Amino acid sequence: MLPARLSPQQLDPLAGVTAQAFAWVFVSAAFATAIGLTLVHRAEYHELPLLLGAFAALAAAGLIVILASSPRRAPFTGRAAAAIHLLCLAAVALEASAQWGTNVAVRSDWAPLALALLVMATGCFRPALEILAMTVVSAAFVAITTITGAIASDSALPTLVYAGLTAGPILAAGVGAAVFSVTLVSRLLRWRDATHGQRLVAVERMRERVRDDLRHERLTMIEDEVGPFLRDLLARGATDGSTAASARQFADQLRRALVDEADGVWLDGVVAELHDAAGLATRMDGTQRAAVEAACTALADRRTRATLERAGRRIRLVLVWERDGRGRLGPELQAMLRHVFPGARVQLRVRRVELEFDAA
Amino acid sequence: MSTALPPDIRSADADGQGGDWIFPLSETTATTRAALVSGASALSLVLLGVLACLGVLLTVTEPGSIVWWMPLALLPLAAGCVAAWRWEPIPVIGYVAIALAAIGAFVALTIAIAQSPAQAPAGTAGFVLSMTTNVAVLTGAASDRWTGGIAGALGGYALGEGTIAITAAFVGLQYRVDIPPIAIALGVAVGYAVVPIARARARRGTASLERADRRTRARRLREMEGRDSIAVLHDTLLGELAALAARAPGPLTEAEREGLAESLDSSAMLPLLRDERTAEVAGVGAWLVSIGAAGGLRIVLEGDVAALDAIADPAGSALRSALEQCVVNVARHAGVAEAWVVVGASPGELSVTVVDEGVGFDPGSVPHDRLGLSESVRGRVERCGGSVRLWSSPGAGTSVHIVVPTGV
């Protein structure tokens, strides 16, 4: 897939947590711009309800940016980005209506600038192509609105100049955000490619260690009793009355040991208490296991209990931890949990996380 | 009765490889910096492009409203912007060159605005000087290699606004404080200052995630390798012990001695053992027939049997071991003298069905500790990305349908 179609948040979920701070900065800047320019050019506004409507639309757009960039709601969706554009365009239209015929200083229009600032916030989360496409459409709308407003205000200069003053910054912000996004994605992909070989070598090294350990365990298990028994039998060359009973006993012991190992659940050693009668923990893939394990490790001091059960066609994982003790489920872990269970329903509550994910 | 057997280990991470979902802290600083510089430079270049277009538009549609060479005065700023973006590392002489280019551009632009009737009334706060000062802020931030962009942003503003103010005094252009460039300079400086704080907050979990990822991968490999050896142990030692448990006392036959010796050898090799026994037999089909014959069972091969020999490891060895166990199961438990192995090849996968018309069984009532179907058949096949389905009921025979990927 082209880097321009991938989002930075897809490839590096933790980057989304970093970017949340930027989202706050851009939203604050958008509001400061809107309030400041309105106060300085208050004489141009003659329809207070429309102006308040524009502020309400901007507030809604800012709220979406804040909520969508929150680790608790990761990832930032395309729908959220579209909503931001639509609400800001509503603000543009309402602001233009509030100063229809009296818009002397077109450069003082705050709604296009606020849109440009919020577009920049999406650069941390959304794919470059999507950012560009939405920006071009929004810039066109803003240009048309400005041109009609300039005509109504009987402006001195060609109306296209005014359109450039309002749509230009939006286009520039969109291109800047798209380049920011595609640069992050390209470098992340380059890092993945560059370290692929190292990771393979590390896995092979790990596999060798695991095999050595396992071989030692198996030999210990067999050479304890079964091996000597069979070797003695081979040396004697015949079975007697007690052979069948011994063979049955050794078979039962060996089978029990193997069944216990096959039934072992990885989550068992990670939480204080595990309720997983159907062995559903084995349905998580490696990445999901690592994220859940990291979450449980962070809460290790708070006696985490895990319950896995079927919820229709999905599997529900509930992690509950106690009030006492150190450790918490930080935003980076919340974002990671949401990221590694794509399409899952994730509910984060006080001392409790519920995840419903598709069974493999 | 049909029983779908879902995989408990996904083939996607069957190689135990992982870790590419956690971008290391050591890489994030340079990456974020590169993205910020690229984004700021692209934004600046588009702004300059828009300004140039507006200058040309005014020159064409309102001759005399702005001096014709105003767009040309933007070129040094664009060059400085590209240099700050692409020049790595920027030598001291480079910074001097970029600063001189910017100063020259601002002097020229201020003179241009002073001579332009459409812009002069706004003084130094007109859109041309305002937007170009923003570009100076962003270029300064992009070229700053020492303070992460903070000093660069403020320096860019000081350089732009200072040059404009001094030049305006000389050419008689009214100086007006322009709020947007001040806000942008402060905003960019604050933004760059926030980066390390925000990153530290986000990366708190990186170390614990990396540790958890390593532990998970090691455990995963242990589980997969362990299950391989469980299957081999089941097919060898457990089989021999079960046979001995059911045997009447007396001397061991040559075949029994060989079986015991081979099982002991195999167990000593665990878990490095990979099934290579089929190499001695001419084709998997013939090998299955020989296994059936040893257990008093006639195996009838149907379909594209040659495809069994063409499938590469690890799917090939997993399929051969699983089929061996299926044939052994029929010979031991079905109570019939004949079974069918039906092979079907299609692009990307190979399916094999082992069918008997024997006593059958209720899959739901198989004791939990029976490892034949769960580990020797299902476990092996699913670990290589395949699937197993089983149909059986008491008195109605048994069919085991195995599908493995061929990668074609």
Express each pLDDT in B258-295 by its tens digit.
878 777 776 554 443 334 444 455 688 888 888 888 77
The CA-CA-CA angle for residues B323, B328, B333, to 5°, reads 125
* pLDDT at A175 > cutoff 90: yes
d(CA A35, CA A30): 9
d(CA B85, CA B370): 66
- The pLDDT, as a whole number, for residue B259 is 79
Distance of CA B386 to the CA centre of its chain: 22
Distance of CA B141 to the CA centre of its chain: 33
Specify the higher pLDDT residue, B354 or A341.
Answer: B354
Contact: B34, A259; criterion CB under 8 Å: no
Highest averaged pLDDT of the listed ranges A53-67, B228-242, B316-330, B385-399 = A53-67
Distance from CA of A316 to the nearest CA of B (A): 16
- The pLDDT, as a whole number, for residue A299 is 84
Cis peptide before B181 (omega within 30 of 0): no
Contact: A172, B218; criterion CB under 8 Å: no
Express each pLDDT in A80-120 by its tens digit.
999 999 999 999 999 999 988 776 666 678 999 999 999 99
How much of chain A exceeds pLDDT 70, in percent? Answer: 97
Residues 374..403 of B with a Cβ closer than 8 Å to A: which? Answer: 374-375, 379
CB pairs under 8 A between A and B: 318
Specify the higher pLDDT residue, A178 or A347.
Answer: A178
Residues of A in contact with B34 (CB under 8 A): 183, 187
ipTM of the complex: 0.79
User: Touching check for B74 and chain A: CB below 8 Å?
Assistant: no
Express each pLDDT in A301-353 by its tens digit.
888 899 998 888 888 999 999 888 777 788 878 888 888 887 777 788 888 88
List residues bridging with A348 in a β-sheet.
A353
Contact: A244, B233; criterion CB under 8 Å: no
Contact: B202, A331; criterion CB under 8 Å: yes
Dihedral, CA of residue A69, residue A75, residue A79 and residue A83, to nearest 10: 0
- Cα–Cα distances (Å) from A164 to A40, A112, A140, A156, B128, in that order, read 22, 11, 10, 15, 12
Contact: B17, A250; criterion CB under 8 Å: no
User: Touching check for B11 and chain A: CB below 8 Å?
Assistant: no
User: Touching check for B349 and chain A: CB below 8 Å?
Assistant: no
Distance from CA of B290 to the nearest CA of A (A): 25
Strands (E), B253-335: 298-303
Helices (H), B250-283: 254-269
* pLDDT at A170 > cutoff 90: yes
Express each pLDDT in B193-224 by its tens digit.
887 777 776 666 677 777 777 777 787 788 77
Assigned token pair, B212: 């958890």
- Spatial CA neighbour of B271 closest among A227, A218, A264: A218
Distance from CA of B215 to the nearest CA of A (A): 8
Nearest to A215 among B191, B234, B272 (CB): B272
Print the SS3 string covering A306-343. Answer: EEEEEECCEEEEEEECCCCCCCCCCHHHHHHHHHHCCC
d(CA B237, CA B259): 9
User: Touching check for B217 and chain A: CB below 8 Å?
Assistant: yes
Distance from CA of A248 to the nearest CA of B (A): 5
- Which amino acid, A288? Q
Q: Helix (H, G, I), strand (E, B), or coil: what is residue B52? A: helix
Highest averaged pLDDT of the listed ranges A175-189, B80-94, B358-372 = A175-189
Assigned token pair, A113: 């600038």
Highest averaged pLDDT of the listed ranges A23-37, A333-347, B111-125 = A23-37
Lowest mean pLDDT among B177-181, B184-188, B219-223, B253-257: B219-223
d(CA B122, CA B79): 27
User: Touching check for B219 and chain A: CB below 8 Å?
Assistant: yes
Contact: A207, B57; criterion CB under 8 Å: no
d(CA B12, CA B17): 9
Contact: A293, B216; criterion CB under 8 Å: yes
The CA-to-CA distance between both ends of chain A, in Å, stands at 25
Express each pLDDT in B2-36 by its tens digit.
333 323 223 334 444 555 667 777 777 788 888 98
Mean pLDDT of all residues in A35-58: 91
- Cα–Cα distances (Å) from A56 to A50, A52, A122, A252, B129, in that order, read 10, 6, 20, 73, 32
Express each pLDDT in A8-20 by its tens digit.
888 887 777 778 8
How much of chain B exceeds pLDDT 70, in percent? Answer: 88
Residues of B in contact with A264 (CB under 8 A): 223
- Spatial CA neighbour of B78 closest among B54, B60, B104: B104
Residue A13: φ, ψ to 5°:
-60, -30
Place A1 in a pLDDT band, splitting at 50, 70 and 90.
Answer: low
Residues of A in contact with B261 (CB under 8 A): 234
Print the SS3 string covering chain A. Answer: CCHHHCCHHHHCHHHHHHHHHHHHHHHHHHHHHHHHHHHHCHHHCCCHHHHHHHHHHHHHHHHHHHHHCCHHHCCCCHHHHHHHHHHHHHHHHHHHHHCCCCCCCHHHCHHHHHHHHHHHHHCCCCCHHHHHHHHHHHHHHHHHHHHHHHHHCCCCCCHHHHHHHHHHHHHHHHHHHHHHHHHHHHHHHHHHHHHHHHHHHHHHHHHHHHHHHHHHHHHHHHHHCHHHHHHHHHHHCEECHHHHHHHHHHHHHHHHHHHHHHHCCHHHHCCCEEECCCCHHHHCCHHHHHHHHHHHHHCHHHCCEEEEEEECCEEEEEEECCCCCCCCCCHHHHHHHHHHCCCCEEEEECCEEEEEEECC
CB-CB contact of B163 with B106 (8 Å): yes
- The pLDDT, as a whole number, for residue A12 is 82
- Which amino acid, B51? L
Express each pLDDT in B279-288 by its tens digit.
455 688 888 8
Express each pLDDT in A113-168 by its tens digit.
999 999 999 998 999 999 999 999 999 999 999 999 888 877 778 888 889 999 99
Express each pLDDT in A259-294 by its tens digit.
777 766 678 778 888 898 877 887 787 778 888 888
Residues of B in contact with A175 (CB under 8 A): 42-43, 46
H or E element, residue B339:
strand B338-346
Mutate to test the interface with B, among A33, A162, A180 (most CBs of B within 10 A): A180
In the block, residue with structure tokens 């069972």: B297
Assigned token pair, A207: 């596999």
Express each pLDDT in A202-235 by its tens digit.
888 888 888 878 777 777 777 777 778 888 888 8
